[in-house]
Structure 1
Amino acid sequence: MSDPAVDPGSAPSAGAEPGRRPGRLTVYLGAAPGVGKTYAMLDEAQRRRSRGTDVVVGLVETHGRAATLEKIGDLEIVPRRVVRHRGVELTELDTEAVIARGPEVALVDELAHTNAPGSPHPKRWEDVADLLAAGIDVVTTVNVQHLESLNEDVEAITGVRQKETVPDHVVRAADQIQLVDMSPQALRRRLAHGNVYRADQIDASLASYFREGNLTALRELALLWLADRVDDALTQYRTEHAIAGVWPARERIVVAVTGGPESATLLRRGARIAERAAGSELLAVHVLATDGLPTAPPAVIAADRALVESLGGTFHTVVGEDVPSAVVDFAQGANATMVVVGVSRHSRWREALLGSTSTEIARLAGAIDVHLVTHERARSGARPLASSALSPSRRLAGWVLAFVAPLALTGLLVLVQEDVSASTELMLFLAAAVGVALVGGRWPAVACAAASFLCLNWFFTEPTGRFTIADPENLLALVVFVLVAAAVASVVDLAARRASQAYRARAEASTLAALSRSVLSGEDTADAVVSRLAETFQLAHVALEERVAERAPWTTIAEAARSTASPGGGGSGSGSDSDDDRTIVRIDDTRRLVLTGRPLPAGDRQVLEAFGTQAGIVLEHRRLSARAEKARILEEADATRTALLAAVSHDLRTPLASIRAAVDGLRSDAVALDPDDEAALVDTAATSTARLEQLIDNLLDASRLESGALSPVLRDVSLDEIVPLAVDPFADHVSLEVPDDLPLVHTDPGLLERVVANIVANAVRHAPGGVPVRVLAARAGDSVELRVEDRGPGLDDARKARMFEPFQRLGDVSGTGLGLGLAVAAGLSRAVGATIAPEDTPGGGLTMVLTVPMAGG
């Protein structure tokens, strides 16, 4: 088996040696926790070490199990890397230490584990990829419920969604996968004996996740997933060794679907055969001609596809010039064990002369079994007549020419008979038959050939005037003429049909593409869909109807009408046309299209059905997206409310507690306060009151911005009237540099003052002690820029992107705010036509640039 593919998203570790082979990956796959994966991994490690292999323990989770701890024994353990997260010490695999140690084999438990924040990789399987890239063999473990592709299946079985998953391709790329299996009863006994979880967890585990039904289903998932992986390995082995024969390691039933009425019978028979053996596969194959034109109506093929999928199989379409060879080639490529084919619908004499598809498949199948299924149409000789691709007027013209052309040509040749040879006469009549074929199709051309034969026999073949032929060569010439004329007419007619089908297919594809573009380009509302349909198919009225349940009445949710008809009121299928002109196209169980106007050809209906299906999917996607957006908004609102409650419960109580303490101290008669103490308490009450007032103002402003109740009053004003008032509470910590000759700005003075005050308060909070915050103003084009510079720690680009979101403190540990200041400032600035942008202060720190439009700008 090939070496494992290292995940491309993980760069090789610095310890990797150029030219060294990648390490080999061995995975112990468990059906459930507690089956003994880690123990089996350690058992292999002990066996390898006893054979002289250098084995180390990179990371093994014992979960307090004595047997696992004892099994580690004296294996060398590489110390783990310590990661601190939110004041808690966590240990993770130290990939660099293992690579530096350079063992032959490293044991790494729990492949799907999510690493602690701050680790080099978010997932442990990425750490394993680094070890493999460094040439170290890795033995690891994983449970089936952690495989990404099975996540939803496991949730449906157990009711628990696994947050830690590993991509399937990582496990599939392993050089060896060992299934660690245990019967559900044995695992439950092991759990009850305390060999898996602590005593206080046993009863809850047995009653929930470790129910016998859950364990049986998980065990089956593990076996089926591993069977697929083994099947992939078998296919790869057969490909690498050019093995064309069938290896019946697994039952695969291929059903040859023609698109005829017997297809449903064949598919159901194939499904019953596949059900006899567990793990069998059902594959349906339909062969298209090499010219790409359909041999069966698309609606019929779509119905067969839906039936196959409902039976648990897959539908495949292949292109081939010879149907039996194409079916057998597909079966051999799929490593099929049986081909199910129907008895030919041709009559016995035709089958004897031309053979049959089923007989040819049986001849070519070789080691593959062929199951011949009879059906109602078997050997009936029934073959639907192909509808003519020509218009009625052309067919009528063809039949007229079929008799007029030979008579006219005969009259012309009789006049000039002495100057025309027999071969020329035959060629002229043949040209007439070809011309009739071009105009009217096959059968008028055949009739023309027959009439020409009679004319040639009567007028130009000795003895003339009688339907007898003296010279056998003349008889042969006339017979050959009829056969050639009929053959040429058939070829010309077939070419005309194929050309017509190609034009039709191109028109249908173009129509469907145009309708699809209208949906995918954003015109995906219900009104846009019905309007486009009415325009494209020139229908009098199109309605999109919906119902809430299968038997509920239909209601019109969108409709469109051409100028020749009025759309009518709501209800089902309203319009001016009669019910006889209505066409109903089903989208799904709850939606349908009702079209009134001209009768639709079958081809148009097929396009409509295809478009209806696509439109239904897109509209459903949009509906779900709208729901998801509403859910996201509600989730954000809920998160905001939760954050607000948490913040208010803490940040409002703090100044209130200070005010209460100061007031109680001033009112107390138990302690005599000197003037300095009284002044300090009064100052504390005043400061806390100012803090409380600012918090409440920010909350009110945030609420007004959220509800859209803010109504700014804009006027021309000087920054001299605004900025000093805004920075006055912070005068001891601010250096104000605002020139007197700045132009007037157009804004709401009160709201802009709140913006400046919040920006300055934020800067003062983060500025280091003793270093004032600079507030500068200057003209910049058609606006005035106010810059607030601090020398604090600054912010990286990632945190700058989030700094204007509510409740973002971004490193502020002072506990003196809700994290609403900048969010309120950004909202108020937008309301007054200003903008705020963060910049790095040269030399370190953060600069907030407030741009205000000039008056008259």
Structure 2
Amino acid sequence: MDADAQVGRRGRLTVYLGAAPGVGKTYAMLSEARRRCERGTDVVVGYVETHGREHTTDMLDGLEVVPRREVSYRGTTFTEMDTDAVLARRPAVVCVDELAHTNVPGSTTEKRAEDVERLRVAGIDVITTVNIQHLESLNDEVERITGVRQRETVPDEVVRTADQIQLVDMSPDALRRRMAHGNIYRPEQVDASLTSYFRVGNLTALRELALLWLADRVDDALGDYRRAHRIEAPWPAKERIVVAVTGGPESETLLRRGARLAQRAAGSELLAVHVIANDGLANPDETRIARAQQLVASLGGTFHSVVGEDVSAAVVDFATGANATMVVVGVSRHGRVRRLFTGTTGDRIASLAGSIDVHLVTHGEVARTARSRWYLSPLSRRRQVVGLGLSVVLPLLLTLVLRLTDNPDQLPLDVLLFLAVTVLVALVGGLVPALVAALGGFLLMNWFFTPPVRDLTISDPANLVALLVFVAVAVGVATVVDRASRRATDAVRARTEAATLGALSRSVLTGQDTAEAIVERLREVFGQESVALLARGPAGWTVVADSGTSPACEPDAGDTRVQVDDDHVLVLCGSPLRATDQRVLEGFAVQTGLVLEYRRLREREERAAALERAEATSTSVLRAVSHDLRTPLATMRASVDGLVSGSLDEADRAELVAAVDSSTEQLERLIDNLLDLSRLESGLLHPVLRDRSLEEILPLAVAGQPEGSVVLELDESAPLVRTDAGLIERVVANLVANAVRVSGGTPVRVLAHVLPDTVDVLVVDRGPGVPEDRRSRMFEPFQRLGDTSAGGLGLGLAVARGLAEAVGGTLSAEDTPGGGLTMVLSIPRTSA
């Protein structure tokens, strides 16, 4: 391809994905490059790392290699891919090894993946390599498997959007043989690698990760192809089980059955779908839906909610879009008569599913549908009583008025008037009073207004039809009015519940709520005397949080109780709640469970952080013991051996005795720092605060330094400070010793500044200083920050800050004007 043809097109990306190091991905990349060269393609090598492997090096013969670019960093020269040179060369294809590589600081781009993107934008095809452990999404999993944290990663999206991904794989035994033969690492590294990273279990797990990740990529490609070619019929390339969740009591049974079906085939997926009716009339049990979501998550599946007018069609549409192979649906809970006339959801799904299998699951809730209590009204008892009264009084009054007119030909008008009365009664009292009014109107019109009057017989068939139509219309209108009233009541209740639960969820999710706030809000919402959150323990129930004037009641003594989890219960004391309030109460229980879970997670996080700090300290102590503490011991041992030999003159003996003395002092100082750090972290340090003068403390703190290395500038009028003299002396001595060590012979100044509340002791040196971005770390234990002097553990500043804070002071670092570092020790002034 010539340069003109490259303009305006984006380069293709081919990725050789290695299941593990050493499987031969670089060799495969170079083999592809040689094949393209033989076909006449202009191919160059932008960057290849052979790691000294003979066979990989041989593959470079005959390929054009673009010289690397040299980059200097901290006095060392490194080589990186010269992207600008490759762009200037403009080949058709370039080979770039190690896609996840991080460039040396100072390079044009931070990651090699960005260099590859530049090449593709220029229209150059790129062939690259990457190992599965370097994918960003798998970093944590790889660390758990191998124990090694990969510091160089590449976003999955970079590899996922490649035009072609080629898996380079090898069985664990074959890879270990390659390792043993010295084809991957140097001989001195083989044994350690075989017993650590390259164990059979590690390699098998990495291989499975690579296969599963690539299978997901292939599945995405299949979905893209089906969408591009508008293929709506599912292709059963992978088992996907869709479970239709109604929110009924059988939902958990269906989900567990679907999970068992999904487990029969490796790599299967479990998807749960809940259809929300778009007419807004459906009223699913939100608590059961929430439990179904939790169960799906625990089974390793995903939960989806879709909106649809026809539940069966919505389930099938979702299954088709997800390329599902099976739909799991429960046997209908409706009675035989309803199933006879309306059919079942399972039957309709089976008729619409086409090539998707439908698995019908029986359950314990079949034909257990609760009887419809149509006669119960959502209206208040007062309105129902008034409606019953009107259903008797209004038809009688209307009959009296109509009898006064005494017009035998006005039956159609009479029917309309009685129908209006029935509608009015329905609006006031609901369905049952309206039926009473309709029946009363029928009897009154039959007795008084249809010939023969004062007789229940009807001579004219037209009048009979008119009265029957009246009854039918009255019943229909009353039913519609009653249903509208029920829906309005449900809508108001749902809006109130949504507002309450929404406010509760927002406060909990934003971390503003606690268990105490939830029980207080619960008491206010339901008007209870007291609400308590109780926890079950070995000694019985204990109160976690309570609200109200009356004492917290026991679970058995409460008027209403709701289970939060196996060990917690909410107990309400006061007026009993209505059944319609149960859903809101369950919502409060769910939110309470979240608060308790957040509390447990915070406590666990704090414990984990404490353990992590302790482990880091222990590791650092062991590292220090193995190195820094052994150095003075080795010196002392060598000196003692020389003294025991007895063949030394006085000068040599004096020198060895001085070495023993110096090493002993150094060892004492290291052990003192370790003990101080231990006391500080365990809280066993108890300072004795008294009014002290700095004239007594500072001269003793600088007394041990070489003559002329420290200049003490102290004003005799400096006020007293409230502190522990011994601890402050050790802090200043530590700071002065550090300053003298780094000052390079320039005297260190120690002076005091008097402030309204404190006296600041300044230790000023002219050393190299510490960059501002590293000052926050300099007070952490075991931080040397480039200090390579012997005998130090990096504890000095950590101990100094801890001692300063123990006596109520502070320790910070500032730049010295003109170069160097100034340590500022602020000590509280005496209250007098």
Normalised TM-score (structure 2): 0.80
What does residue 614 of structure 1 align with? 594
Alpha-carbon distance in 2 for matches of 1:821, 1:330: 65
- How many corresponding residue pairs? 817
Secondary structure, in 3 states, of the residue corresponding to 2:785?
Answer: coil
2:731 corresponds to: 755
What does 1:385-404 align with in structure 2 at a 5 Å threshold? Answer: 385=372, 388-391=377-380, 394-395=383-384, 397-404=386-393
The 8 Å contact of residues 184 and 212 in structure 1, kept in 2 or not, is answered as yes
Equivalent residue runs for 1:763-842 within 5 Å: 763-769=739-745, 771-815=746-790, 817-842=792-817
Query: Mind listing any 5+ residue stretches in structure 2 that lack a counterpart?
Result: 1-5
Q: 1:604 to 1:699 in 2, by over 3 A?
A: closer
Aligned to 1:256: 244
**CA pair 135-507 structure 1, distance change in 2 beyond 3 A:** same
2:653 and 2:187 map into 1 onto residues whose CA distance is 61
1:444-485 Cα deviation digits (max 9, x unpaired): 433432332333333344554344556666555544443443
For 1:685 and 1:206, how far apart are their aligned partners in 2? 45
Contact in 1 for aligned 2:777/2:783 (Cα 8 Å) = yes
Q: Percent identity?
A: 54
- Greater shift after overlay, 349-358 or 599-608? 349-358
Residue 336 of structure 1 contacts residue 368 of structure 1 at CA under 8 Å; is this kept in 2? no
Paired amino acid for 2:163: D
User: Aligned residue for 1:629?
Assistant: 609
Structure 1 residue 790: Cα displacement: 2.4
Match of 2:65 in 1: 77
Asked if the contact 1:35–1:182 (Cα under 8 Å) also holds between the matched residues in 2, the reply is yes
Q: CA deviation at 1:319?
A: 1.9
Change (3 A) 1:725 1:20: farther
AA aligned opposite 2:583: G
Superposition deviation, residue 79 in structure 1 = 5.2
Once the 2 structures are TM-superposed, how far is the Cα of residue 649 of structure 1 from its aligned partner?
0.9
Q: Give 1:39's aligned residue.
A: 27
Residue aligned with 1:814, SS: coil
| Larger mean Cα displacement after TM superposition, 446-455 or 37-46 | 446-455
1:732 is matched with which residue? 708
Moved more, 314-323 or 209-218: 209-218
What is the match of residue 406 of structure 1?
395
Residue by residue over 1:273-295, the C-alpha shift from the partner in whole angstroms, topping out at 9 and shown as x without a partner, is 76776655443322112255653
1:671 alignment counterpart: 649
Question: Is contact 1:344–1:356 with CA below 8 Å preserved after alignment?
Answer: yes
Helix, strand or coil at the partner of 1:445? helix
Deviation of 1:92 after TM superposition, in Å, equals: 6.3
CA contact (8 A) 1:25 1:176 kept: yes
Paired letter, 2:150: K
Residue identity opposite 1:429 in structure 2: F
1:494 equivalenced with 2:476 (yes/no): no
Matches within 5 A, 1:268-347: 279-290=267-278, 292=280, 294-305=282-293, 313-336=301-324, 339=327
Contact 1:777 1:786 in 2 (8 A): yes
1:451 correspondence with 2:440: yes
* 8 Å contact from structure 2 (residues 628, 790) kept in 1: no
Q: 1:211 to 1:788 in 2, by over 3 A?
A: closer
Given the alignment, which residue of 202, 208, 233 partners 2:221? Answer: 233
**For 1:690-712, what per-residue CA distance to the aligned partner results, in whole angstroms no more than 9, with x for missing partners?**
76776566556545544442413
* Within-5 A mapping of 1:52-131: 52-62=40-50, 65-78=53-66, 103-112=91-100, 125=113, 128-129=116-117
Shift of 1:163: 3.4
Aligned residue type for 2:438 = A
Distance 1:196 1:266, change over 3 A: same
Letter in 2 for 1:163: Q
Distance 1:451 1:671 in 2: 135
Write the distance in 2 (CA, Å) between the matches of 1:310 and 1:826: 47
Greater mean alpha carbon deviation, residues 119-128 or residues 606-615: 119-128
Q: Partner of 1:587 in structure 2? A: 565
SS in 1 for 2:128: strand
Task: Write the deviation string for residues 47-78 of structure 1: whole angstroms up to 9, x where unpaired.
Answer: 22233433333444445654433333322334
Amino acid at match of 2:685: A
- 1:308-365 CA-to-partner distances (Å, cap 9, x unmatched) read 5566543321122343443344334324455555666667776676676556656766
Query: Structure 2 vs 1, CA of residues 681 and 232 (structure 1 numbering), >3 Å: closer, same or farther?
Result: closer
Q: Are 2:275 and 2:305, in contact at CA under 8 Å, matched by a contact in 1?
A: yes
Corresponding residue for residue 556 of structure 1: 541
Structure 2: distance between partners of 1:229 and 1:487: 58
Q: How does 1:168-247 map to 2 (within 5 A)?
A: 168-181=156-169, 221-240=209-228, 246-247=234-235
Q: Distance in 2 between matches of 1:802 and 1:402?
A: 85
Q: 1:797 to 1:131 in 2, by over 3 A?
A: farther
Which of residues 371, 386, 394 in structure 1 aligns to 2:358?
371
List per-residue Cα deviations over 1:213-265 (Å, max 9, x = no partner): 87776655444432322222233344456555555554544443333466567
Q: Deviations over 1:111-157 (max 9, x none)?
A: 4567789988886556645655665433223344554445666678x
Contact 2:23 2:170 in 1 (8 A): yes
Tell whether the 8 Å contact from 1:714 to 1:832 is kept in structure 2 after alignment.
Answer: no
Larger deviation: 39-48 or 515-524?
Answer: 515-524
Correspondent of 2:690 among 687, 709, 714: 714
Does the C-alpha gap of structure 1 residues 284 and 99 become closer, same or farther in structure 2, counting only changes over 3 Å? same
**CA shift in 2, pair 1:620/1:91, >3 Å:** farther
Partner of residue 15 from structure 2, selected from 27, 39, 46: 27
Asked whether 1:577 is paired with 2:557, we answer yes
What whole-Å deviation, never above 9, does each CA across 1:185-214 have from its counterpart, x for those lacking one? Answer: 876887788766788998998999888887
CA 1:199–1:421 in 2, change beyond 3 Å: closer, same or farther? Answer: farther
Give the Å deviation of 1:391: 4.5
In the TM superposition, 1:2-13 aligns within 5 A as none
Correspondent of 1:163 among 150, 158, 163: 150
Q: Distance in 1 between matches of 2:97 and 2:321?
A: 38
Preserved CA contact (<8 Å) 1:406 1:432: yes
The 2-side partners of 1:686 and 1:33 are apart by 52
Is the 2:18–2:25 Cα contact (8 Å) retained in structure 1? yes
Q: Is residue 531–residue 560 contact of structure 1 (8 Å, CA) maintained in 2?
A: no
> Which amino acid counterpart does residue 823 of structure 2 have in structure 1?
M
CA contact (8 A) 2:346 2:360 kept: no
- Runs (5+) with no aligned partner, structure 1: 1-17, 548-552, 569-573
Q: 1:80 to 1:611 in 2, by over 3 A?
A: same
**Equivalent AA in structure 1 for residue 591 of structure 2:** F
CA–CA distance in structure 1, aligned partners of residues 543 and 356 of structure 2: 54
Give the whole-Å Cα distance in 1 for the aligned partners of 2:616 and 2:698.
Answer: 34
In the alignment, which residue of structure 1 is the partner of 2:3? Answer: none
Give the counterpart letter for 2:161 in structure 1.
Answer: A
TM-score (norm 1): 0.78
**C-alpha displacement of 1:732:** 0.7
Verify the 8 A CA contact 2:390 2:425 in the aligned structure 1: yes
| Candidates 806, 823, 831, aligned match of 1:848 | 823
Q: CA deviation at 1:110?
A: 4.2
